[in-house]
A and B are shown apart, each in its own frame.
Chain A
Amino acid sequence: MLDVSELHVRYGPVHAVRGVSLLAEAGRITLVLGANGAGKSTSLRAICGLQPAGGGSVRLDGAELLGKRPHRIVRDGVSLVPEGRRIFAPLSVGENLRIGGYTAGRSRVAALADGVYDRFPILAERRDMPAGLLSGGEQQMLAFGRALMAQPRVMLLDEPSMGLAPGMVDTVLDRVRAIADSGIGVLMVEQNVDAGLAVADTVSIVARGEVVRSGDAEELRRDASVVHALLGDAALAEEGTA
């Protein structure tokens, strides 16, 4: 279980994340919703060590992660799938996976890659192709597969549906559900409210660097207008303060 509490991040004078608390439990998807600039991606980057945090705590099964360097945090069991399907474009699909398995050790890489190919058969077909030639959806699958190679206990997904064709969004989010169902905790940032709500277990809504509402996804699915109202309010308030 990943327990983020009272996380603060500052970019110089800008207090981007002000005391965000989030929870990611094994087998469950925690969806983080929020308008642009609300501090969602910054929170994810702080959790995995890419952005220094200004305070708070990030505990993975009780052990503090905050202050560790990113490559250490991967070894502890937290893998990030960054925004915008960042893959190593010149490397082949198989090589991308092997890079992802760097922390797993050489002897296990082949078995782990086979596991990823079973999960995403399309990657097996494309294994020798340069990753940059894959379609958007395939690149996202590769990014998932590469993160899975590190055998994470918790995966952090930063807007997996970004820039995908509408038909592909549901396919990708179904894969996220399948990843969670295999026992991994998922903390997912999304802008696509309806598609995200459809697969999530818990939801936290972030506005201006703070969690303004968290609750059961089921509840919010029944009354999606509440979410839209909260996100709308957040957007309006942001314009007001700017």
Chain B
Amino acid sequence: MIDWYFSHIVLIQSTLTTLLLALSVQVPLRAGVFSFAGVGCYGIGGYIAAIGMVHYGLSTATAILLAAVAGGVVAYTLGLLIQRLTGLYLAMATVAFTLIISVLVVNGGDLTGGAAGLFGALGMLDTGHLLAVAAVVVAGLTFTEIGPLGRRVEAVREDPELAAAMGIDVARYRRATFAVSGVLGGLSGSMTVLLRSTVTPDDINFHLVVLALTIIIVGGSRSWIGALVGTVIFVWMPEVLAFVGEWEDVVYGVLVAAAAVYLPGGVTGAAVDGYRKYRRKRREAADTPPDGPSPHPAAAGVGGDS
């Protein structure tokens, strides 16, 4: 076990940081906001942590905290600017924001290290720290998935206009998702960079948008569990698929396409559906006498207006 842990420590740590990145896209999506601003904040967080450590000698914790706050503030401000956009237009604007960040860091001179990036930003981080941060984040997000707040988030996603007609300040919820997404992106970026000790402009690119989105599509978009399942799949798949060699990308593509077609709710959605079906069958088997006709309660209940 110990041996296994030490030989896989990089994968374990990057599972945790990638989870935060995926959540930074999933949180707005769950409220119906199609925003990739979290990926841009991943870049901002990574660079702020690296600059803080290399140029200003900040401690690891201070650098990460600063990155998270900066990510949140930048994303919230971006949210104020583009909050009237919806759907694909919002997605485009936030992808553009992410690409602008990568252009800015290339042209940042000595501060960002230009195209070569920054080196030697090794933070004092271990798996325990990452687990603690991920646990706090997940615990916080659980409150946005259950209970009254969960219902309101769902209402804002399902029908923003109707939610407004219920007295919910939809715009405030949308802005809040920007801020949360920025904080998560900043955390993920700063911790990734401080683990690797380097950051280059190539690290903040369109492929992160694709990665975050595929994790959510394959894992499931409705809960943090979906993000976790998707993250585990995509962080560990290269290891599992090592034997197919250069065909890895093909297998990857086929898996994503198959998940999008056959698992519209992601792996998590399919598992929840399967569990419900299993429970219903069990209950029906318990309710009906072995040879009696099986009444269908749902079917009998509907149809009152005919």
Contacts and interface: CB of A to CB of B under 8 A. Distances in A.
B158 A134 contact: no
Interface stretch (B112-120, B160-168, B254-262): B160-168
A71 B164 contact: yes
A70 B169 CA distance: 8
B168 A102 contact: yes
Nearest to B165: A80
Given A71-B168, A74-B166, A98-B148, A137 B159 contact: no
B128 interface: no
Nearest to B163: A99
Contact of B167 (A88, A95, A103, A122): A103
A99 B305 contact: no
A100 interface: yes
Nearest to B298: A133
Main secondary structure of the interface of B (DSSP, over half): helix
B303 interface: yes
Interface stretch (B54-62, B149-157, B236-244): B149-157
Interface string A88-118: 1111000100111011001000000000000
Interface in A116-143: 122, 125-126, 129, 133-138
Interface in B271-306: 298, 301-306
Nearest to A163: B305
A75 interface: yes
A98 B151 contact: yes
B302 to A, nearest CB: 6
A167 interface: yes
Interface in B151-202: 151-152, 154-155, 158-159, 161-171
Contacts of A137: 304-305
Contacts of B154: 88, 90-91
Interface residues of A, number: 39
A70 B165 CA distance: 6
A50 B164 contact: yes
B148 A106 contact: yes
Interface string A131-164: 0011111100000001000100000000000001
Given A88-B154, A99-B151, A133-B298, A138 B304 contact: yes
Nearest to A103: B167
Interface residues of B, number: 25
Given A50-B161, A88-B154, A106-B148, A99 B304 contact: no
A172 to B, nearest CB: 9
A27 interface: no
Given A88-B154, A88-B155, A99-B152, A150 B167 contact: yes
Contacts of B148: 98, 102, 106
Contacts of A146: 166
Interface string A45-86: 000111000000000000000000111001100011010001
Contacts of A133: 298, 301-302
A70 to B, nearest CB: 4
Given A71-B167, A71-B169, A75-B167, A91 B151 contact: yes
A86 B164 CA distance: 13
A242 interface: no
A111 B17 CA distance: 45
Nearest to B303: A135
A150 B166 contact: yes
- 5 closest residue pairs by CB, A with B: A74-B167, A103-B167, A137-B305, A168-B305, A70-B164
26 contacts: A71-B164, A71-B170, A74-B166, A75-B167, A79-B165, A82-B161, A82-B162, A88-B154, A88-B158, A88-B162, A89-B158, A90-B154, A100-B166, A102-B152, A102-B167, A106-B148, A125-B301, A133-B298, A134-B302, A135-B303, A135-B305, A137-B305, A138-B304, A138-B305, A146-B166, A150-B166
Interface of A: 48-50, 69-71, 74-75, 79-80, 82, 86, 88-91, 95, 98-100, 102-103, 106, 122, 125-126, 129, 133-138, 146, 150, 164-165, 167-168
Given A86-B159, A88-B159, 8 more contacts: A71-B170, A74-B165, A80-B165, A86-B162, A95-B151, A106-B148, A133-B302, A135-B304
Interface of B: 148, 151-152, 154-155, 158-159, 161-171, 298, 301-306
